Amino acid sequence: MRIELSLDAIADAAYDTSAHHKLRGRIWKALEDVDEYAAAHDTNRGVGFAFSNIYPWGDIETGDQRYLRIASPQRSVLDDLVRHFGRDRTFDVGQMRFEIDEISGHAPDVGEPGATGVIDTATGVFCALDRRLAEEHGLDTTKIDEGDSETKLFWRPKHGLDPLQETIRRSLQRTHEQHGDDYYTGPAEVDEPLFESVEPIKDDVTYAIHFQPATAVDRTVILSKWRYGYRVRDETHRYHLNLALDAGIGQRREHGFGFVNLINQQPPRAETS
């Protein structure tokens, strides 16, 4: 489930490519009056939402129309956001200033078992490997050893795809345990892969950006963007893929990373006799 905000620019501005923290702050402003969400703020538990960049990219002129998507596996989160944005149409993200024009709801679905399709990451996937995961995959932990206790190893192509995909599975498993449907088995509790194919969107695979998780903290993080192909095996796999659409993939999703879109979907082929 997701909502899309149609935004009217009310001032000229340069596009801020590192506005993750400010954009997250505007979304949190819409949730701060709800005790349940306030208690989850700044915890590892989180509320369970992901959001796109403001798009399309590029410098902004007064009168331009831009868009933002916010997804969540919790319908109540989206309902509360719609109520807030319906009352408060101001949407300022640093120097980028907008008014909300329209709010629409969407429920993308990967399709019934046998359906095929492609999902891609609209924002970069954040994957920082901790010592345990690095050692499980036989990776050099020298950079972790040389850093402080919070230092983790950002995934790079030289590490191979396995630790990246395992991080995505584990992150989605936590979302399943916190916000998912108990009727289904979690994505890390099945042997089959989440996706059938994977290819990088960027030629250099990874790229670096500045990231401010808090006002006084300025970091450089390494991200990657991917296009994933899938074939829905069964209803449980359908649930896993739709959960990824609702919650994003990878780490730090509530900070603006790992938002995914359904690019195309083909229904199951009819069997011929």
Q: How far is CA 161 from CA 136, 156, 199, 205, 211, in A?
A: 13, 9, 10, 12, 24
Do strands 197-200 and 128-129 pair parallel, antiparallel, or not at all (unpaired)?
Answer: unpaired
pLDDT band at 147 (very low <50, low <70, confident <90, very high): low
The closest alpha carbon to 54, from 108, 106, 107, 94, belongs to 94
Give which of 31, 23, 25 is closest to 7, Cα–Cα.
Answer: 23
Q: Which of 20, 21, 41, 159 is catalytic?
A: 41
Count CB-CB contacts under 10 A for residue 228. 23
Q: Give yes or no for residue 150 having a pLDDT over 60.
A: no
Please state the length of the chain: 273
Per-residue model confidence as pLDDT tens digits over 173-182: 999 999 999 9
Asked if 21 is an active-site residue, the reply is no
What Cα–Cα distance (Å) separates residue 65 from each residue in 18, 34, 58, 89, 259? Answer: 20, 30, 12, 14, 21
Inter-residue contact 207 to 223 (CB < 8 Å): yes
- By percentage, how much of the chain surpasses pLDDT 70? 95
| Token pair of 93 as six digits | 């993200």
- Does residue 141 contact residue 133 with C-beta atoms inside 8 Å? no
Residue range 25-76, pLDDT digits in tens: 999 999 988 888 877 766 667 788 999 999 999 999 999 999 999 999 999 9
Q: CA 262 to CA 215: how far, in whole Å?
A: 33
| pLDDT-wise least confident of 16-20, 77-81, 238-242, 246-250 | 16-20
125-126/260-266 β-pairing: unpaired
Distance in angstroms (rounded) separating the CA atoms of residues 84 and 82: 5
pLDDT for the residue 44: 67
| Alpha carbon distance 175, 168 (integer Å) | 11
Q: Taking the model in full, what pTM does it have?
A: 0.92
